[in-house]
Structure 1
Amino acid sequence: MTHNDKPINGQDNPSFLNLLNQLPPPPPAPELQSKPGPRRLARLRAAWKESWEGGGFLYQRWEEVFQARHASWHEVANWIKAAALFGGISLIVLMLDAAGDIASATLKGLSAVPATNGGDGSGLWGTVDHPVRVFLADQAAHLSVAPAALYAFWQLTGLVGLVGGFFGNAGARIAWLLFGIGSLAMIWFAAPAGGRAAATGLAALMWALASIFALRGLTLRPIVHNHPPQFMPQFNPTLHLHATLPAPTPTGGDFDDVHRLQR
């Protein structure tokens, strides 16, 4: 409370600001009393101001947000957990949607590549790639899919298996193995009869060389753990002998002395 420095007649002299604060608020203007809009706005403003005071609704929510920075997940308010989960799920959905668009654009780009590139079968890569193109083109004639789409999917499977297998992904390595087996089968069926064995063998060697990177770190040697168990059962044999000795019978003066001590 603000006061002046000099008292008057032994009493405190209130300042002008103190008296001004004690005055009642002025009544609203007559033109505003007949309009419900300004009165509603005034009530909303008062409710907003009251909610930010100590113990108000917004004040408590702000305190919960401030305390959530230093609290564990179980101590955080439920509405903060719900908001965080909803935001995380929304972010995952957006990422999956973006990943689907990227994968679709990649497949469309690969499908646009004509399937006649390298179709003459010249060179080492043409010897392996040409039978695959021929086999896929023959099979696509009986399916409702373009040969270029099949060839693009075959390329994408091999690329994903090679890259994912290099980073140790088990699913990518399985896809790489199926990709190699399927490629060898297609080359065997579509290669010319005279050079079928040579084309298949050349493809097997190329696939084996690429498997050095795709199957990096994979071993068929069984892993044997020679660590002794932490808790070894211990046997401590002990021999227990139970002997029953007869109680001595008191006689004579000793019996009288025992009764005398009991008294």
Structure 2
Amino acid sequence: MSHNDRQMNGQHRPNSILDQFELPPGRKGKQHLARLRTAWRESWEEGGFLYQRWEEVGQARHAGWHEIALWIKTAGLLAGISLIIMMVDTASDIASAALKGLSDVPASNAADGTGLWGTVDHPIRVFLADQAAHLPVAPAALYAFWQLTGLLGLIGGFFGNAGARIAWLLFGISSLAMIWSATPDGGRAAATGLAALMWALASIFALRGLTLRPIVHNHPPQFMPQFNPTLHLHATLPAPTPAGDDFDDDNVRPLQR
């Protein structure tokens, strides 16, 4: 294996770009390019600058955040911050255009309530238009706020946000009340029931994972008195007598013939 094909950290290093250039005419040009080629090759040799940087890039895949090189952290943070700025700018433009489009929605009249969705949506527009006549706000603004509330409640409830689920429940109850109030007497029950069914189907996503079952934890209490019976025996032992005190003077008898 040649020097240019040497592997570092399990990967081939990039081919020398300087080897692809032809020497320019003239002695000075040859010497200058020769020095560049020498510096390029030395930097890729073991212990060289580019060799160490390439090793750090290869080790970054397996090392943690605290072990990788500082310049890789800096480059990653700058790239992440730039991406976040671009996403926030794009999201703000989309939200601004969506709110502007919702605000420009005109109020509907009685001749627009056609179709399945119109049966539910039209009474709400009529109700909001009638109420806006007594309020310092445009009917289109009320309708846009009603739509935005439902959208945020549906999305936030899907991700388990408690406040969004409360907003979704209030959105559904208020929508049913508006439909019941603005629909003519002949189709009031049918329109309200249809809206309730549509709201229930949408609640499958908005109230995902919500259960009414009580949660019972069968874990023993953390602090329980422990009873460990122990038996203590106290015995008094006599003190041992010295070896020389086994025979006292009264037991000594003289030897008789």
TM-score normalised according to structure 2 size: 0.61
Report deviation, 1:173: 1.0
Distance 2:112 2:58 in 1: 70
Report deviation, 1:238: 0.7
Distance 1:204 1:167 in 2: 27
Matched, 1:135 2:135: no
Distance 2:192 2:144 in 1: 19
Report deviation, 1:247: 0.6
Equivalent residue for 2:147, pick from 147, 155, 158: 155
Query: How many positions carry a matched residue from both structures?
Result: 214
Equivalent residue for 2:217, pick from 205, 225, 228: 225
Equivalent residue for 1:61, pick from 50, 53, 61: 53
2:70 aligns to what? 78
Distance 2:111 2:52 in 1: 73
Give matches, 1:72-111, under 5 Å. Answer: 72-111=64-103
> What root-mean-square deviation, in Å, do the aligned CA atoms of Structure 1 and Structure 2 show?
4.4
Distance 2:247 2:131 in 1: 117
Distance 1:255 1:57 in 2: 98
2:199 aligns to what? 210
Letter in 2 for 1:134: D
Distance 1:248 1:151 in 2: 105
What residue ranges of structure 1 are gaps of 5+ in the alignment?
1-27, 257-263
Distance 2:35 2:141 in 1: 66
Matched, 1:114 2:110: no
Letter in 1 for 2:101: G
Report deviation, 1:66: 1.8
- Per-residue CA deviations over 1:38-80 (Å, capped at 9, x if unaligned) read 9998877765554344323222111211222232333211221
Asked if 2 retains the 8 angstrom alpha-carbon contact of 1:107 and 1:153, the reply is: no
Distance 1:255 1:72 in 2: 85
Distance 2:94 2:132 in 1: 25
CA gap of 1:239–1:90, structure 2 versus 1, over 3 A, is: same
Asked if 2 retains the 8 angstrom alpha-carbon contact of 1:51 and 1:58, the reply is: yes
Q: What SS does structure 1 have at the residue aligned with 2:66?
A: helix
Letter in 1 for 2:75: A
Distance 1:222 1:48 in 2: 70
CA gap of 1:89–1:63, structure 2 versus 1, over 3 A, is: same
Q: What SS does structure 2 have at the residue aligned with 1:73?
A: coil
Distance 1:168 1:101 in 2: 26
- Per-residue CA deviations over 1:118-175 (Å, capped at 9, x if unaligned) read 5788985344442123224543xx25xx432331121122133235434544343132
- Per-residue CA deviations over 1:171-222 (Å, capped at 9, x if unaligned) read 431321343455578x49xx58x98xx979x769945861443334423443
CA gap of 1:71–1:231, structure 2 versus 1, over 3 A, is: farther
What residue ranges of structure 2 are gaps of 5+ in the alignment?
1-25, 249-257
Distance 1:152 1:230 in 2: 53
**Mean alpha-carbon deviation: is it higher for 46-55 or for 240-249?**
46-55
Asked if 2 retains the 8 angstrom alpha-carbon contact of 1:128 and 1:203, the reply is: no
Letter in 2 for 1:96: V
Asked if 1 retains the 8 angstrom alpha-carbon contact of 2:103 and 2:144, the reply is: yes
1:259 aligns to what? none
Distance 1:210 1:56 in 2: 67
